[in-house]
Amino acid sequence: MKPVLYGASYSVYVRVARLALIEKKIDHDLVEIDIFAEGGPPPDYLKLQPFARIPALQHGDVTIYETGAITRYVEEAFPGPSLLPETPAARARVNQVMSVLDHYLYRPLVWDIYVARDEAAKTGEAADEAAITYAIFKTRHCLKVLEEGAGDWLAGTQLTLADLYAAPMIAYGLKTEEGRILLAERPRLTAWWERISARPSMAATKYPTD
Ligand SMILES: N[C@@H](CCC(=O)N[C@@H](CS)C(=O)NCC(=O)O)C(=O)O
């Protein structure tokens, strides 16, 4: 049964799920759901994702939402290159990085810096510089912690779900001057970005604005 991913190609979390599917070499369909469409998503979509977020995954009679759950399901339910390490400690490290990205990077980097700058450019209105300064502070700390824990890949020596989680967030961050400065402060993360951004899965999931 071919899995179906619901979501939009501009979305960070949809891109994470797509990266996992592509890295596992799983044939799948993407059904476009614009979560920010006027009037909201189609009412039926709320049966798949009751919190009106994207993505959601359907695979036969299995429906899953929350990107962490989707990507772990993709890893465990399908053959293909493993995106989780073997040992409990190494797996916990992957989960830790994914949680850090969810809770400490996504909001400040993607929303409080990238979206704030993008909206200011589109509307011509001034951005809230104090909020951006605070977001820079939070992002800088998060990138420092990620770099200190990283090997060649964010959770050690192999490509894992942690890298697929981080890359779509960093990609939006790098569209801003602040994001480029923050990444340049971290040489090992910069080398990691060169590695991850060169993967065909990243080229296959470019944002519409890339
Ligand atoms: N916890 C959710 C977060 C997903 C999420 O926030 N997706 C964004 C797009 S990247 C969304 O649907 N935003 C809609 C909104 O905030 O109303 C997950 O892991 O899937």
* Distance in Å, CA 202 to ligand 1 centroid: 20
How far apart CA 55 and CA 70 sit, in angstroms, is 9
Nearest-CA neighbor of 186 among 198, 173, 204, 202? 173
Q: What per-residue confidence (pLDDT) applies to 97?
A: 98
Among 10, 18, 35, 100, which residue has the most ligand 1 atoms within 8 Å of its CB, making it the best to mutate?
A: 35
Ligand 1 near 171 CB (within 6 A): no
Q: What per-residue confidence (pLDDT) applies to 186?
A: 98
Nearest-CA neighbor of 199 among 29, 18, 54, 57? 18
Spans of the chain below 70 pLDDT: none
Give the list of residues 6+ apart from residue 50 with CB closer than 8 angstroms, or none. 65
Nearest-CA neighbor of 11 among 85, 75, 106? 106
Each domain of the chain, given as residue ranges in start order, spans: 4-77, 88-204
CA 102, 94, 62, 207 torsion: positive or negative? positive
Q: What per-residue confidence (pLDDT) applies to 206?
A: 97
CATH number for the region 88-204 comes to 1.20.1050.10
Domain covering 4-77: architecture: 3-Layer(aba) Sandwich (3.40)
- Is the pTM higher than 0.85? yes
**Nearest atom (ligand 1) to Cα of 12:** 10
User: Do 178 and 120 meet the contact criterion of CB atoms below 8 Å apart?
Assistant: no
Q: What per-residue confidence (pLDDT) applies to 119?
A: 98
Q: What are the E-state strand segments in 27-149? A: 29-32, 56-59, 62-65
Q: What per-residue confidence (pLDDT) applies to 102?
A: 98
